[in-house]
Structure 1
C-alpha cells in the first residue's frame, strides 16, 4: 500500500510522522507522492487558528482528488484530530481514521485494518493515564539512521496558560520512564545519531508527575549526555517558571549540551503575562537570562512571542520590544493572538483589532530581523563545527553548497566542491559572511 504523510506544527508532530512512516515501511507499505498514494495521512496542529484552517483546506483539495478512486482514503491525526474527533467523518466522508494525540502507536494496526475493510471507520481518541510507549521499527539492513534524532520524553501539559489549547488536545502531563528514554537514545546513537533533541511540551517539568519515577529533568539530561558517542544534545520546549538551577548549571558542566536554548517569553509586559497565566515576570525572566549566560557565555537564546493578546496596550507592546533588545534574541517565532476553543483568553476583553495586531507583528518582526543580523555578524571571523544536514538551497552555479548547523543551532551554508555526500558529517568551518537568517562558511583546519 502506498501512503503520503502531510505534517503540520511542532517538532513533536514531525517526530510522530517520522515514526509512523518507518513503522508502515517496516510492514511493507511504501511512501509515495500525492499522485500515487492510496492513503493520505494528515498530522495536524491546532495551537493557532491558521494551521487548523490549513488542514481543512488540504482536505478540501484531497476530496476532489479522491473522488476519482473510491478505494483511496484519508486519516487525520494530531491535535486537530483530538479536538474535532469523529466530526471529521461527517464533514469529509473519505476520512476513515481519526487518531488522537495519545493513539499514534495504534495507527499502523488501524491503517492496515482499514485497508482490508473498506467500509470500516475508526476514531481513536482516548487519553491514557501514562506515557504511551511505541515499538521502534527495525531499520533496514545496512542502513544507518539519521545523524540528527528527536526523542519524546513526555506528553501533555499541566500549565493551562490562558491562550493555549495544548492541555485540551494533548492531555495532562505524563513523563516517560527515564529508562525508556535512555534506551531509545542509546539505540539511536548506535545507529548513527550524533545529535539528539529531547522533546516535550514543557521539558523543565519532566519528573514532576509519577511517570518520571522521581528523576528530575536535570538528572535526565546528565544521563543522556553521558551516552558514549553522543556529540550534541538539545531540548525543547522550556517554560521559564520551571527552569531549575540544576538545568542552568548543566549548560556549564555538560560539554555536549549545546549552547542554545528556546525560552518562550510570550510578552514583555508584566500585566499581559499575568493575564496569560505565565507565572513569571520580566525580572524573573531577565534573572534567568543572566544566570544562563553566566553558566555558558555566548549561549544563544531564541523565543516565542504573541502580539495582540486581549487587553494588550501600546505600552504593553512597547515593553515586549524593550525586552527583545535587553535579551538580544537570536531569533523568535512570533504570532498574532487568535482565540482557541475552550481556553480562558477566548472570553477575555477587550480584543485587539486585526489591523493593530498586524501592525504590531510587522514592527516586532522588523526588530527581530535587526537583532538576528547583529547576532550573525558577530559570528563572522570565528571558527566552528557544523553538523551537515544535506544539500543547501543556496547554489550559485559554482561549487555546490551544503547546509548544516553550528552548536548554537545557527544555519550555516558551506561550499564544497568534492563529490562526496557530506550529510551527517561534522566539519570545521570558518564563518566568512552573514546573511539575513544564516551564515556562509568555508572549510577550515584539516581536509574534510
Structure 2
C-alpha cells in the first residue's frame, strides 16, 4: 500500500501522524511520494498512485475543521476515478463527527480518534483487503493505551517528541478537547523514560514532552504515582540529552516543584509555553480557567526568579462571549507587562457542546477581528524588540540542516536556540564545514548574532563546534 498523510492542528497531531507513518512503514507499506511546488495544493493529479490518504484533523477551532471538509471535497474526484483507493480521517474531527463523514464523503472508509491510533495500522490493512468494509474506531480507553515503538522506521533527527499523557479533565467553557480527546490518562513513568533513553541513543539531542495538560501528569494514576516534576528531572538527566522542553502547560497546575526544576536542571530549556487566554479576571472566570491574573503573574515572577533568562509564549482568545473593551485592554496590559516572546492568538468561535457556545453575549465578528489585529500588532512589536536585544550576543544553536536560502559567502544552515527561535547560521570561515566526521544535523554551534529579522535571528558560526 502507498499512503499519503496530511496533518492539521497541534504538535500532538503531528506526533500521532509520525507514529502512524512509522508503524505502516514497519509493516511493509510505503509513503506515497507527493512533491508540492510553492503554493501548490494537494490535488487529484498530485495524488496519482496513492492507495490511501490519511488525514489527522483538528477541531479546536472552526477554521481547521472547515479546512478538512474543503480538502475532502477537492479530493472527491480522485477517489471517484480510483474506486479502490480510500481515505482515512483521524483525530479530533473524526472523534467529533464520527460516521457522519461516511454520508458526506463515501470514500472515507476509516474514522479513528486519537485514543484509537494504535488500532489504525491493522484497520487500514483490513480495508485494503476488503474494499466494501468501513471501520469506526472512536471508543475511549479507561487508561493509557500503549503503542508499539517503531523508531527504526524513522530517519534520525536531533529533535524528538514523546507523548506522556492524553486527554484533559479541565472542561474550560470554550474547549472541545475533553470531548474529542477524552479524560486524562497518564502514560507509565518507566515507558516514557525508556522511550526517551532510546531516542537519545538514536541521536536525539532535544526532546519535547507532549500532553494536553502536562502539569497534571500522574494525577490520574492514584497515590504514590510519580509527579510531572519527578518525570522532568529523570528525563533531564539522561546522558547525551542537551535540551528538554514540554507543552502544553495549564497555569492552575504549574507547581513549585516544576518551577524549581527550571533553576536546577540546566537541560530544561528556558522557554515555556504558558497559555493565559485572557488578561481579564472576569473573562477567565467565564472561561472556567480557575486562576486569576494575579496568580498568573506570581507564576511568571517565580519562574524568572528561578531562571533569570526565562522567556514565555502563550495563547489568547479574543472576542470571548461578554468580553468588553475594558476586558480586552486588560489583556493588552498583560502583554505589555509579561513581554511574551511570541503568542498564538485567535478569535473566539463556538465549538459544539461547549458551555460557551450557549452563552448569549456573542461579540460581533468585526469587533473581534479588530481586537485581534490590535493584539497581534502589539505582540509583533514586542517580539521584534526582544529579538533585537540578542544582536551582538552569542547563543548555542542546535542545527537542523541547510537553510532553504543559500548565499555566495559560504554555507548557510538553520537551527534553533534554547529559546526555540529559528537562527540562520552563516559559515563563511568554514568552521562547520570543516567537521567532516559528522552530519550537520544535531551539531551544537555557538553563533554570534548579527541581525534580527521579523521572526528569526541570523549570525555567524563562532569558534569551535561540538
Specify the TM-score bucket, using the shorter chain as the normaliser.
Answer: over 0.9
Deviation per CA, 1:245-293: give whole Å up to 9, x if none.
0000000000100001000010001110010011111111111100000
Query: Which residue of the partner structure matches residue 8 of structure 1?
Result: 8
Q: How many residues align?
A: 446
Q: Which of the numbers 248, 262, 268 marks the counterpart of 1:257? A: 268
CA distance in 1, matches of 2:321, 2:259: 33
Query: Which residue of the partner structure matches residue 110 of structure 2?
Result: 97
Q: Tell me if the contact between 1:202 and 1:238 (Cα under 8 Å) persists in the aligned partners.
A: yes
Query: Which residue of the partner structure matches residue 300 of structure 2?
Result: 289
Query: Which residue of the partner structure matches residue 176 of structure 2?
Result: 165
Change (3 A) 1:31 1:90: same
Q: Tell me if the contact between 1:267 and 1:307 (Cα under 8 Å) persists in the aligned partners.
A: yes
Structure 2, unaligned runs of 5 or more = 35-46
Aligned CA-pair RMSD:
1.5
Change (3 A) 1:211 1:75: farther
Query: Which residue of the partner structure matches residue 185 of structure 2?
Result: 174
Structure 1, unaligned runs of 5 or more = none
Query: Which residue of the partner structure matches residue 68 of structure 2?
Result: 55
Query: Which residue of the partner structure matches residue 396 of structure 2?
Result: 385
Question: Does 2:45 align with 1:45?
Answer: no
Shift of 1:138: 5.0
Q: Tell me if the contact between 2:445 and 2:464 (Cα under 8 Å) persists in the aligned partners.
A: no
Shift of 1:399: 3.4
TM-score with structure 2 length normalisation? 0.93
Shift of 1:99: 0.8
Q: Tell me if the contact between 2:443 and 2:465 (Cα under 8 Å) persists in the aligned partners.
A: no
Equivalent position SS for 1:131: coil
CA distance in 1, matches of 2:265, 2:49: 47
Equivalent position SS for 2:298: helix
Name the stretch that deviates more: 129-138 or 240-249: 129-138
Query: Which residue of the partner structure matches residue 157 of structure 2?
Result: 146
Q: Tell me if the contact between 2:444 and 2:465 (Cα under 8 Å) persists in the aligned partners.
A: no
Structure 1 residues 29-428: aligned runs within 5 Å:
29-32=29-32, 33=34, 34-137=47-150, 139=152, 145-210=156-221, 214-396=225-407, 398-416=409-427, 422-428=440-446
CA distance in 2, matches of 1:403, 1:262: 22
Deviation per CA, 1:221-241: give whole Å up to 9, x if none.
011112111111000000001
Shift of 1:395: 3.6
CA distance in 1, matches of 2:48, 2:424: 33
TM-score with structure 1 length normalisation? 0.97
Equivalent position SS for 2:143: coil
Equivalent position SS for 2:238: coil
Query: Which residue of the partner structure matches residue 39 of structure 2?
Result: none
Q: Tell me if the contact between 2:446 and 2:465 (Cα under 8 Å) persists in the aligned partners.
A: no
Equivalent position SS for 2:114: coil
Deviation per CA, 1:105-127: give whole Å up to 9, x if none.
11111111111111111000000
CA distance in 2, matches of 1:416, 1:6: 35
